Amino acid sequence: MSPNSPNSTTATTAKNSETNSAAKQVRNLLIVLAAIALSVSIFFGLRTQTPSSSLTAMAKASAPLETALVNGKPTLMEFYANWCGSCQAMAKDLSEIKQKYAEPLNFVMLNVDNDKWLPEITKYRVNGIPHFIYLNNKGSAVAETIGEAPRDIMEANLEALIAGKDLPHAKATGQVSNFTPATGPVKTSSSDPRAHGSQVQ
């Protein structure tokens, strides 16, 4: 068969058509895989940012420490930071707990990255977060827990605090994010992962 015969042209056209079809299938597959990878990365990126945002929102909605110490209600005081994985892990449960006990309790959140809270950080010897201090209705510390705690343990402690009883889990310790308090004015650089600037509460 000569290269210029009609059968040769038809075979070449068929091969080109198959090659183009295969190339289009590979291209479409790559586009689908890229779209899936992008969707997954966006999903996990948003999930990673949400707890930090909710911690900031919860802190803004919390009672001022000065008010909580004098208004005659017991208080749960939390030392936290936006970069704290353990704090983020508890954020959803704590938000729901705070809504449930909003009437009988004060909830105070103190960001350990804010130099303003250094006296309280020192007073309560905060070296891991989340660090919870339970204050009675006179503003005196009656118990503390450090690290992640299951919701039922937190609620049992809060029920006892409201009732003026000893807390059943007064020295509970869970997973923490380590924190080293500053001994003087903190100077942070922009490369410091704890330098949050305007986010500090």
Residues that are catalytic: 84, 87
| β 106-111/75-80 pair status | parallel
Contact 194, 85 (CB under 8 A): no
Angstrom distances, CA of residue 96 to CA of 15, 41, 80, 92, 112: 64, 28, 17, 6, 23
Q: Interhelix angle for 85-100 vs 6-61, to 10°?
A: 60
CA pseudo-torsion sign 165, 140, 129, 90: positive
Contact 104, 74 (CB under 8 A): yes
Which is nearest to 94 in space by CA: 68, 55, 61? 55
Peptide bond into 64 cis (omega under 30): no
Q: List beta partners, residue 76.
A: 107, 134
**Helices and strands in the chain, H and E counts:** 5, 6
